[in-house]
Amino acid sequence: MTATNTEFEISGVNHLALVCSDMARTVEFYTQVLGMPLIKTIEIPDGGGQHFFFDMGGDNHLAFFWFPNAPKAAPGIAAASGIPGKADITSAVGSMNHVAFTIPEDKFDEYRQKLKDKGVRVGYILNHDDSVSGVAREMHPGVFVRSLYFQDPDGILLEFAAYTRELTAADIRHEPKTAADRTVADN
C-alpha cells in the first residue's frame, strides 16, 4: 500500500539514534556482523562522548551515541528484555522497543543462517498473520511478513523483516487504544 503524506515531504528515516556501552564493540558488530558501512564519526565536545553513523541502505542510517556517564541498560523498561517468542518484549512508554531492517523475502533463510554462522543467537522464525495468535507455524497466503529477531552486543532488539505481500487498505481494521485502555497506572 502506498500512501502519500500531504503535510510534509518526508522520504524516509534519516537516522535512528541509540545508545551503546562500548562504541568499538558496536562498530565491530554493525560493520562486521551486519555489514553496515560506518559513514560518519563525531566526537562530542568537552569529553561528552561520541556519535557514529552507519548506512542501512536506501538512504537510511542507524546512529549510536556513546556517553561516558550513560546510565546502565534497563531491559524491560527502556527496551525489550528479550527476543519475541522467548521472552516478554514489553517496554515502557517512550522507549525504543526494536529496530526492524527490511530484507528480501528470498534471502530470509540464507540471512538467518549467516547470522548463526557469525555466532549471533537468533530467535524463532515468526510468520506474522492475522490469526488470533498473530503468528503461524507454516507459511500460508495470510502471512504478510516473516520476522527473525536477534540482539546486538548491548541487548538492543533487532529484526530482519521480509514482507511476503503488499499491504492494502484491508490491513487497517483495528481501532486504536487510548490511555484509558492501559492496565498499569502511570506513576
Contact 139, 160 (CB under 8 A): no
- Residue 183 in any domain: the answer is no
Query: Domain with 162 in it: what CATH number?
Result: 3.10.180.10
Does residue 23 lie within any of the structural domains?
Answer: yes
79/99 same-domain check: yes
Residues of the chain with pLDDT under 50: none
164 lies in which domain range?
75-169
Domain count within the chain = 2
HSE at residue 22, side-chain half, CA atoms within 13 A, is: 8
Is the same domain home to 105 and 31? no
Residue 93: per-residue pLDDT: 85
- Please tell me the predicted confidence (pLDDT) of residue 187: 53
Is there a single domain that holds both residue 90 and residue 48?
Answer: no
Cα gap 91→98, rounded to integer Å: 10
Residue 131 lies in a domain: yes
Contact 152, 115 (CB under 8 A): no
pLDDT score recorded for residue 185:
58
